[in-house]
Amino acid sequence: MQSLHAAVEIDAPAERVWQVVSDFARYPDWNPFIVRAEGKPHIGERLEITIAAPDMKPVNFRPRVLDVEPGRLIRWKGKFKLPGLFDGRHALIVDPLDGGRSRFTTHEDVTGILLPFVGKVMTASQQGFELMARALKDRAEA
């Protein structure tokens, strides 16, 4: 297993950050990594996601929503082609901080038999996570 992780403190209340994170229809307006997200963040639902990691061809996948805590968390599980090849459990987390600030965390645990062969993909995805966190900060603080 390998993990990807990015976090950022944001000078905006958690409610504002959640509003941006949970509004999938607007991802193309601001998100440089998850460039398309369609569907409803409801447990059991399938989403349509397109990620565009730096210097990589965009990838489409259809993860299933595992958990939703309105105002705080969306977690999904996706796979590449068949289960067990390259699977990821992705979380988008918003935590309130003192003073009307918040913290956004995006985290993914990746498993599968292809993992030893996708170092470039993992590196590019980590960069994508970091770009997304910074872009969310800019969007929520605007």
How far is the C-alpha of 45 from the C-alpha of 65, rounded, in Å? 5
CATH of the domain at 41: 3.30.530.20
77-99 pLDDT, tens digit each: 998 777 787 899 999 999 999 99
Query: What sign has the CA pseudo-torsion 34, 13, 137, 8?
Result: negative
Per-residue pLDDT band for 132 (boundaries 50, 70, 90) equals very high
Q: Which domain holds residue 131?
A: 2-141
And the tokens for 128?
A: 């994508």
How far is the C-alpha of 84 from the C-alpha of 18, rounded, in Å? 31
pLDDT for 67 beyond 90: yes
- pLDDT at residue number 39: 96
